[in-house]
Structures are given as structure tokens and as C-alpha cells.
């Protein structure tokens, strides 16, 4: 088993820089999720691990071997694709065994092969479908065949590129659990690409957030959620996304940010100096409605979204739209009403509006 290390890895397609100086250490046995919006370069990063794209610059290591120029079939990795990429003309059994047949180095004798196919099929509950062709399977079954084909070769690293995006919502939730379970059982390194933050949050040991080809932050899901490194991560992780308010740090303790629509108390001002402009970030659940006249920002309720288990108040404050997450038990303001919103000071994030980096 082995981890994967990117050292200043860059990938260029002509003028397009798809991955820009990526430095990232995927630990041995870890479930690492590469998360980012469409086109940010996460598939490219994954395909470089697989050897499907050449590294333009930097060092890529699997285990303790630099693999920049190692051909894909010699890298000891397996990959699950978004479209599953099953051979349509082969039976499930032949699909699963194909890495053991096609790859000269991985070839094993027929008995061993059959044993391993059986084992992989059993792991994923595919025994009864071994004789069928992919076209005769449901989407979820095909997905499992792709997984079986990956595990049959017992690779050092599993690579998955949005493997759940072709499944319906219910199946996606179920397969998420199964993948986590599979990871636990195999104990192998997983590198998993997705743009779905729920997948990332629920499955990952650690998340690497990527935007525009650059790494934004790496960390455990909860850590990334609680301490987003910059405005991008703050806005990308969490649903509904973090509210942002521009303001000026007022002198004095405890610190506060003065915005056109009111004051936001901050427990930790970090490196934010007095009288500088900052962006205050507040998660919807950290905002609450306080009695009129209290300290906070004042705005007008534009909409109340009822979600059953909770409510979202959409409040407009001097051009900014803030979303407040409320429990059903709390009193509901009416649409059009003016409300005062206060943030929990220990949960206010401060960002530099110019560089967008975190200040506290």
C-alpha cells in the first residue's frame, strides 16, 4: 500500500493550465476527495495519477516511486470512471477479469483468476450477473461491475472520477455508504473526484478543495467546514452557502465589524487590523433573529423557505442577501418585516477582501 504525493505538479494543455503547481500529500490508506467546481482540474489531477495524462512539471510519487514517466499499466492503480467504461461486448465476468488478462505483468493463472473474480463479485453482490453483458444491467449494477473490475487487481491506489453521478439520488446515497465500507474493508488509498460537497463531506477522511487548477485547502471535512481557508472555500462548502458582509474593523475589544446595515461582533479578530476593510463570513446556522433594537444587522425579510425540518429566512440588508437557518420552533417573522440579525461572535470568519485569504 502507498500514498500519492504531488510536488509542485503542473499540467498544461497548450495555453490552458489545468493544474497549477499542485502540492498535495495523499496519505497511505486515506480516503482523499478532490472537490471543486466543474473545469477546476480535478479530473486532470486524477488522470495524472493514473498516467493517462503526462505531468508537465513537478514530481508525482506513488508510494516511494516517482511515476512521472511510468506507463499507466505499471502504476498499480485502478480507476473507476463516471461512465463506468465497461466493455459492452464482454460479459460481466470477462469485464471483471480483464485487468488480470490484458496486463502482462498482472497476469495470474486461470484458477487464481477465477477465484479472484468470484471474490470481487461476491464483495459487490454480483454473483448472479456474471454471465450477463453490461447492457443487460441497471446503472447501479454496472457501477458495481466497474468497482469489481477495480478491486480484482488489488491495486495500491483506487482512483474514482465522479463514479456516482450517473446514479439516481437514492442509489447514490446507498452507494456512498457502500464505498466508505469498501474503503474500510480494503484499507487502500482512495482518491475520489467529485463536485458534490455532500459526497465529499460524507465520505472523505480529508478533502482537497481545488479551484482554477489550484489547491485552496486540504483538511478533514469538519475542519474545512469550520475554518475555510479563503472566501472561495467558504462559499463552496456548506449549503446554503456562507453569508458574506463587507465592513470595516472597528477599534476596541471585543472586536466588531461595522457594516452599512449594522454591527457584527467577532470573538477572534486574528490579524485584521483596526479600520481595515474585511469580509465577514457567517454561516446561516450562526445567525439568529434578535429583538428589535439589539445589536446586529438590520434587514427586510424577503422570503421564508419552509423545508419541513427547518426554515430559511432570506433577508436583504443593504443590497446583501443573507440566509438565516431557523429551527421550526422559533417564531417566524413575516415577509416584509424588518428584523435584526445577530451572529455568534465565535463563529464569525474574517477574510481579506483583496487576497480573499482568512484573517482569523
Give the interface with Mg ion as residue ranges (CB under 5 A): 43
What does the alpha-carbon distance between residue 7 and residue 339 come to, in Å, rounded to a whole number?
50
CB nearer ligand ATP, residue 237 or residue 255: 237
From the list 11-19, 167-175, 268-276, 348-356, the region that binds ligand ATP by CB under 6 A is: 11-19
Residue for grid cell 473526484: 193
C-alpha angle 12-1-32 in degrees, rounded to nearest 5? 50
Encoded one letter per residue, x for contact with another protein by CB under 8 A and - for no contact, window 296-315 reads --------------------
- Taking the C-alpha atoms of residue 91 and residue 27, their distance in angstroms, rounded to an integer, is 36
The residue (of 218 and 264) whose beta carbon lies closer to another protein is 218
Cα gap 111→158, rounded to integer Å: 25
Residue 103 sits in the site that holds another protein (CB under 8 A): yes
Residue from 2, 44, 143, 360 touching ligand ATP (CB under 6 A): that is 44
Binding partner of 280, given ligand ATP, Mg ion, another protein, none, CB within 5-8 angstroms per partner class:
none
Interface residue with another protein, options 11, 18, 42, 47 (CB under 8 A): 47
Of the candidate residues 72, 240, 241, 260, the single one contacting another protein (CB under 8 A): 72
Q: Pick the closer one to another protein by CB: 142 or 313.
A: 142
**Cα–Cα distance between 150 and 138 in angstroms, integer?**
19
Asked if 195 is part of the footprint of ligand ATP (rule: CB under 6 A), the reply reads: yes
Which of 109/128 has CB closer to another protein? 109
The residue among 48 and 231 lying less far from Mg ion, judged by its C-beta, is: 48
Q: Give the binding-site size for ligand ATP (rule: CB under 6 A).
A: 12
Pairing assessment for the beta strands 31-35 and 189-194 based on DSSP bridges: parallel
Distance CA 12, CA 285 (A): 41
Alpha carbon separation from 197 to 33, 103, 282 (Å, rounded): 10, 35, 18
Q: How far apart are CA 36 and CA 41, in angstroms?
A: 8
* Farthest CA pair distance, the chain: 79
d(Cα 159, Cα 32) in Å, to the nearest integer?
Answer: 10
248 belongs to the binding site for another protein (CB under 8 A): no
CB 217, CB 200: distance < 8 Å? no
| Binding residue (CB under 8 A) for another protein from 29, 56, 91, 106 | 106
Nearest partner of 27 among 150, 180, 206, judged by Cα: 206
Q: Which residue lies nearer to Mg ion by CB, 43 or 360?
A: 43
Cis ω for the linkage preceding 240 (within 30 of 0): yes
Binding residues (CB under 8 A) for another protein: these are: 5, 7-8, 20-21, 23-25, 37, 47, 50-52, 54, 58-59, 66-73, 77-79, 81-83, 85-89, 98-99, 102-106, 149, 206, 211-212, 214-219, 223-224, 227, 229-232, 355-358
Binding residues (CB under 6 A) for ligand ATP: these are: 13, 16, 18, 36, 38-44, 195
Amino acid at each position: 500500500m502507498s500514498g500519492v504525493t504531488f510536488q509542485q505538479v503542473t499540467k498544461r494543455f497548450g495555453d490552458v493550465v489545468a493544474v497549477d503547481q499542485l502540492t498535495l500529500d495523499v496519505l497511505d490508506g486515506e480516503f482523499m476527495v478532490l472537490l471543486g467546481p466543474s473545469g477546476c482540474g480535478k479530473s486532470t489531477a486524477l488522470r495524472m495519477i493514473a498516467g493517462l495524462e503526462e505531468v508537465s512539471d513537478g514530481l508525482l510519487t506513488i508510494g516511494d516511486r516517482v511515476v512521472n514517466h511510468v506507463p499507466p499499466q505499471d502504476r498499480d492503480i485502478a480507476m473507476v470512471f463516471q461512465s463506468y467504461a465497461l466493455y459492452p461486448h464482454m460479459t460481466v465476468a470477462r469485464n471483471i477479469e480483464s485487468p488480470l488478462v490484458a496486463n502482462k505483468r498482472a497476469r495470474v493463472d486461470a484458477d487464481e483468476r477465477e477465484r479472484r473474480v468470484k471474490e470481487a463479485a461476491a464483495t459487490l453482490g454480483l454473483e448472479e450477473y456474471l454471465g450477463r453483458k453490461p447492457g443487460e444491467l441497471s446503472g447501479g449494477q454496472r457501477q458495481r461491475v466497474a468497482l469489481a473490475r477495480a478491486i480484482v487487481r488489488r491495486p495500491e491506489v483506487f482512483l474514482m472520477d465522479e463514479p456516482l453521478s450517473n446514479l439516481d439520488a437514492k442509489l447514490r446515497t446507498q452507494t456512498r455508504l457502500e464505498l466508505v465500507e469498501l474503503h474500510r474493508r480494503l484499507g487502500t488509498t482512495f482518491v475520489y473526484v467529485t463536485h458534490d460537497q455532500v459526497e465529499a463531506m460524507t465520505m472523505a477522511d480529508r478533502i482537497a478543495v481545488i479551484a482554477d487548477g489550484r489547491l485552496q485547502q486540504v483538511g478533514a471535512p469538519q475542519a474545512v467546514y469550520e475554518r475555510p481557508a479563503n472566501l472561495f472555500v467558504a462559499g463552496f462548502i456548506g449549503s446554503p452557502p456562507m453569508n458574506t458582509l463587507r465592513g470595516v474593523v472597528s477599534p476596541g475589544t471585543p472586536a466588531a465589524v461595522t457594516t452599512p446595515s449594522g454591527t457584527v461582533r467577532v470573538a477572534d479578530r486574528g490579524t485584521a487590523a483596526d479600520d481595515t476593510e474585511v469580509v465577514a463570513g457567517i454561516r446561516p446556522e450562526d445567525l439568529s433573529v434578535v429583538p428589535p433594537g439589539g445589536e446586529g444587522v438590520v434587514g427586510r425579510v424577503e422570503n421564508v423557505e419552509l423545508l419541513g425540518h427547518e426554515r430559511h429566512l432570506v433577508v436583504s440588508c443593504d443590497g446583501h442577501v443573507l440566509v438565516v437557518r431557523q429551527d421550526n420552533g422559533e417564531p417566524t417573522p413575516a415577509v416584509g418585516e424588518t428584523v435584526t440579525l445577530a451572529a455568534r461572535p465565535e463563529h464569525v470568519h474574517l477574510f481579506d477582501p483583496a487576497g480573499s485569504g482568512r484573517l482569523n
